[in-house]
Structures are given as structure tokens and as C-alpha cells.
Structure 1
């Protein structure tokens, strides 16, 4: 049997748990299929950009808030979306941070922000199609579920 080597693109992203009075800040984004997706503020890191720098930049664009004093919470890592056009090796960091400023998203995909009580976060998460979108993969939400329970681990292999 011949084993062919393959190279997967690496997708690096960072998100921030922004917490205030028992609530978590989520952003509402319009997906390509027109549906609304609730997610953590943050996003993809650019070439040569650290996960922490990506988190600061993306939170500013998606929420208008300035985050400082980032603290590492967890890393989710492994192959995702195998067999789809978006298969990749994921390297997703999660942080907590101090924040200041007013909620004022400038990202055109963000249709709103919402402070959500910890107990209600999971009910806003939508899993399912389209399968090539990693945000709809339940594994992506395991670190957040654990964080909200006060049980975050540092490393989550996919």
C-alpha cells in the first residue's frame, strides 16, 4: 500500500473570553448561508502574527473593545474538516483579558454583540450544516463549555 504524504493548510485563530458580571460577550455574525452565528470575539491570525496579537486586533474590529493583559486559557489543536475543501490543521488559542471601551463593531459581518449569562451560552450555539464550517463543529465549543464551568484545561487535542 502506498502512503501519500499530504500537506494541510494551518489555520491559526485566537478568541477572548470577555466576562462581566457572570455574562460572556458573544458576537453575532452573518454566515455565507445567511444564518446568524453566535461566536466568541476573535478570529484568524495573519502571517507572522502571534495568537495574542490576532486576538487583540480581531476583538477591536468585532466589538470595538480594547483588550489588554491577555491570559492564556487553552489551545485546541488538530486536524479538522478532513475530506472537505476547508480541511486544515487547527491551532486555536483562547484567552481572558481586561477590556475597556464601548461596544461598537466595525466588522461588516458582525450584526451585533450580546452579553449572555453563562448558563445560556450553549443554547445559542448552532451545530450542523454546512459541515465545512469549523464554527459549527461541536469540538470547537468544548473548551468554552469547560471554561464556563470553571473546568478549563490548557490543551484540547482534536
Structure 2
């Protein structure tokens, strides 16, 4: 990493909510009108821990209350190098117990669905625009490993 410059830090946390052999995904509409499938969770506020961000964001995006968070992995490093959204990222992944009814209140979420493990990767869109870090294949590598039962604790970006 080039230490002669300062990058903004993006901190986010997502939760693997599992029901049998299904993973809960949220559906969001992108600026180009397409549907993006992602893990429930999102950006941490400045004074918020990644675990607290995960709990707050999952509630807003799904309506579910999560408890007993267990750390799974951390993604860390420079993201979107050379784009207008270049940043240093710290993305945590957790699992958790959950209860409640699916009832998203986030206006960006257009749906929430349980997806069989074998169908998750088929819903992921990679590629342009590069400003959408969720479309970077490196962001989805920990999820692929988690579904396969081979999650690592650390993923450099």
C-alpha cells in the first residue's frame, strides 16, 4: 500500500443468516434500475462498532432481530483502486441467531428472500459500474467459502 496518500475508510458489517441450507439475501434496486442481491448489513456509523452496525442494519433491511453474533471473517484492504470511490475497507462478516418477521423498513430494499446455497452465486452480478464494490468478486469470496464450510478469518482485498 502506498502510504504517501490518505484514503477514506469504509467500515461495514454483514450477517450470514442461515435457515437450513438457505441464506437470507436482500434485494436492492441499483441506480441503473437493476436488482442487486446482497447480504443483510451495511455501513457502520462513525462511533459504532462493526457488530452494532450489523445488528442495526439487519433490523432495518430485514425486520429481523439478531443476537449472539459470532465473528466469521474480516475483509481488509484498498478497494476500487483508481476509481472515484477508492477507499480502504474493513468489512466484517458474522453469523447470528435471529427472530422476528421479515419486514424491511429500508426504502432501498425492494425484497428479502431465502436463497438455496447452490443458487446464491448465480444471483451475484459482477462487473460495471466499478463504483459498486458489491459487484467486485473479491467481496463475494468469503460468502462462497462460508457456504462451502471453508470460511477463513481474514481476506485481504
For residues 38-79 of structure 1, the C-alpha deviation after alignment (integer angstroms, 9 at most, x for no partner) is 000000000010000000000000000000000000000000
Counterpart check, 1:137 vs 2:154: no
C-alpha deviation, 1:4, in angstroms = 8.1
Aligned equivalents of 2:17, 2:3: Cα separation in 1: 43
Aligned equivalents of 1:4, 1:153: Cα separation in 2: 27
1:46-57 correspondence runs (5 A):
46-57=45-56
- My pick for the range that moved more, 91-100 or 124-133, is 124-133
1:40-119 correspondence runs (5 A):
40-119=39-118
Aligned length: 156
Aligned equivalents of 1:123, 1:111: Cα separation in 2: 19
Any runs of at least 4 consecutive aligned residues in structure 1 with deviations exceeding 4 A, and if so which? none
Q: Which runs of 5+ in 2 are unaligned?
A: none
TM-score by length of 1: 0.97
Which residue number corresponds to residue 26 of structure 1? 25
Q: Determine helix, strand or coil for the equivalent of 2:111.
A: strand
Aligned equivalents of 1:23, 1:39: Cα separation in 2: 14
Which residue number corresponds to residue 122 of structure 2? 123
TM-score by length of 2: 0.97
RMSD: 1.0
C-alpha deviation, 1:139, in angstroms = 0.2
